[in-house]
Amino acid sequence: MDGSTAPVLEGGCHGGRERLAEAARAAGKSAAMDRLTADYPRGPHDQPQSMCPAFGSLRVGLRMRRVATILSGSACCVYGLTFTSHFYGARRTVGYVPFNSESLVRGQLFEDIRNAVYETAKPAEYDAVVVINLCVPTASGVPLDLLPKQIDGVRIIGIDVPGFGVPTHAEAKDVLTGAMLKYARTEAERGPVARPRVLADRPTVALLGEFFPADPPGVGALLAPMGMALAPTLPCREWRDLYAALDCQVAAAAHPFYTASVRELRAAGRPVVGSAPVGVDGTEAWLDAVGSTAGVNASVVSAAKDAALPAIRAALAANPIDARITLSGYEGSELLVARLLMEAGADIPYVGTACPRTEWSEADRAWLEARGTHVQYRASLEQDLCAMRDVRPDLAIGTTPLVQKAKELGIPALYFTNMVSARPLMGAAGAGALAAIVSAQTRGAPRFARMVSFFEGVGTGDASGYGWRGKPVEPQGARERTRKLRLAKAKALESVGT
């Protein structure tokens, strides 16, 4: 395909996923769509119930030094993604190649992207330039694979990250991380590569996932008695970290959705273990798995466990949790957090994750289910809400819409991303980190009950009475009249089309 023709497409998050996927295949993207479907199998929800999935890829690119990130997509999508990036403190320019119907149909968009890439790829400034096709350019077949692979030594990485092919922004992180690992692996296979900034003098473990800053050093301390160290964590912060991560002895898929990245690590001959050193049971099992995979003597692994487990056990005992909790999120660490809370004493009947079931969370799933927890992969917001209503927990941990609903019901709630992911999870530091916020929230239950009774009778949704003397009353028959008008309008439009 030469990038010269493309149908004009409209639609996106809120409609037309099947149509866009078909269009992408018809426009020559079958291989890319097959890859995405295999790597990120769908679940019950149709479209992202959180932010645009491409944010995951964008964030990974923006966090890397000497890497430029350029978006190709509709202006509204790019506006939202740029806004969110800066909301999360990107402090970096988001590149954008705009298009209109004509430049898309004539193939000019591809030429514009190529020009933008040539303008950006300055070796003094960048190691790599990442171009991300959003929904419409992917569905229109804009062929990023025809971009040059490098310009004056600057690597060019083009990826398709459509909302109709990548279910969550978590998995979109993997799309770019996997693409970069593939490029770096190929470079390393061809010959010498740049020396990583920090080169460990011991065998290393490469963690997959985004963690609270205190977690990687904590994991390094757990590994030290086994004569091992931590490689740069993936997604990483600069290009040559990729070489150091690929050079690991064992890769650890602590966040279990990095399918493409695992494929590259395995292609480089690196074995991969799942789960993470969380709580007593989790840390013990993880050290065993890493030790046996790396061929560490059993007595040395035993000594490493003796060094780590008493402190974790003591931290859990000093920070008990006595609460019934439902937990849901889209970050990939939901099962690990649930394990930790349960080891501290919490009762957790339900865990929902937007991420798919993979082999790297199997141990966590089995541990939770053995203790009576229902684990829902690819959980929809509706499933999370339903579980919360059924369980009536002392505390609901979840996404923004779930927390909002919990508050309406008078259930204390915590936002997973801001409150849980912003604390350590692993080793002894993680074991003591969550109890304080859980107890602060559950202590606030009477306050929530007072709030619900205070707002009793004011109405909800479009009938909420704030600012009125009474609850607004819906004019009789208004809904039915509007429905009929809409139907008539749709029919009139249909007849124009025929």
Distance CA 485, CA 491 (A): 10
Select the residue interacting with ligand SF4 from 16, 56, 61, 73 (CB under 6 A): 73
Q: Which is nearer to ligand SF4, 158 or 163 (CB)?
A: 163
Distance CA 452, CA 471 (A): 16
Q: Which is nearer to ligand SF4, 20 or 121 (CB)?
A: 20
Distance CA 293, CA 296 (A): 8
CB of 11 vs ligand SF4, minimal distance in Å: 7
Is 77 one of the binding residues for ligand SF4 (CB under 6 A)? yes
Beta-ladder partners of 347? 324
Is 172 one of the binding residues for ligand SF4 (CB under 6 A)? no
Distances (CA, A) of 75 to 112, 134, 248: 15, 10, 41
Q: Which is nearer to ligand SF4, 52 or 402 (CB)?
A: 52
Residue 149 · residue 78 · CB < 8 Å: no
Q: Which is nearer to ligand SF4, 77 or 363 (CB)?
A: 77
CB of 125 vs ligand SF4, minimal distance in Å: 27
3-state secondary structure of 343: helix
Residue 77 · residue 52 · CB < 8 Å: yes
Token pair recorded at residue 280: 């007593």
Token pair recorded at residue 190: 């061809």
Is 420 one of the binding residues for ligand SF4 (CB under 6 A)? no
Q: Which is nearer to ligand SF4, 163 or 291 (CB)?
A: 163
Residues 6+ apart with CB under 8 A from 310: none
Distance CA 449, CA 411 (A): 8
CB of 128 vs ligand SF4, minimal distance in Å: 22
Distance CA 154, CA 114 (A): 14
Strands of the sheet containing 347-353, edge to edge, are: 374-376, 347-353, 324-329, 395-398, 413-415
CB of 53 vs ligand SF4, minimal distance in Å: 6
Residues 6+ apart with CB under 8 A from 296: 226, 227, 228, 290
Q: Which of residues 9-68 bind ligand SF4 (CB under 6 A)?
A: 12-13, 52-54
CB of 60 vs ligand SF4, minimal distance in Å: 16
| Count of residues engaged in binding ligand SF4, rule: CB under 6 A | 12
Q: Which is nearer to ligand SF4, 50 or 421 (CB)?
A: 50
Q: Which is nearer to ligand SF4, 85 or 204 (CB)?
A: 85
Residues 6+ apart with CB under 8 A from 454: none
Q: Which of residues 83-112 bind ligand SF4 (CB under 6 A)?
A: none
Select the residue interacting with ligand SF4 from 62, 131, 134, 336 (CB under 6 A): 134
CB of 142 vs ligand SF4, minimal distance in Å: 13
Q: Which is nearer to ligand SF4, 110 or 239 (CB)?
A: 110
Distance CA 179, CA 264 (A): 9
> Regarding beta strands 128-133 and 67-72, do their DSSP bridges make them parallel or antiparallel, or are they unpaired?
parallel
Q: Which is nearer to ligand SF4, 74 or 140 (CB)?
A: 74
CB of 161 vs ligand SF4, minimal distance in Å: 8
Q: Which is nearer to ligand SF4, 274 or 356 (CB)?
A: 356
Cα 109 vs. chain centroid, distance in angstroms? 29
Distance CA 395, CA 302 (A): 37
CB of 81 vs ligand SF4, minimal distance in Å: 7
Residue 348 · residue 327 · CB < 8 Å: yes
CB of 52 vs ligand SF4, minimal distance in Å: 3
Distance CA 230, CA 326 (A): 33
HSE on the CB side for 464, CA within 13 Å? 7
Q: Which amino acid is at 486?
A: R
Q: Which is nearer to ligand SF4, 60 or 290 (CB)?
A: 60
CB of 159 vs ligand SF4, minimal distance in Å: 13
Residue 206 · residue 272 · CB < 8 Å: no
CB of 350 vs ligand SF4, minimal distance in Å: 28
> Regarding beta strands 374-376 and 150-151, do their DSSP bridges make them parallel or antiparallel, or are they unpaired?
unpaired
Is 135 one of the binding residues for ligand SF4 (CB under 6 A)? yes
Q: Which is nearer to ligand SF4, 16 or 424 (CB)?
A: 16
CB of 24 vs ligand SF4, minimal distance in Å: 12
Distance CA 138, CA 159 (A): 9
CB of 68 vs ligand SF4, minimal distance in Å: 19
Q: Residue 206's closest CA among 183, 233, 224?
A: 233
Q: Which is nearer to ligand SF4, 53 or 412 (CB)?
A: 53
Token pair recorded at residue 202: 């011991």
- The residues binding ligand SF4 (CB under 6 A) are 12-13, 52-54, 73-74, 77, 80, 134-135, 163
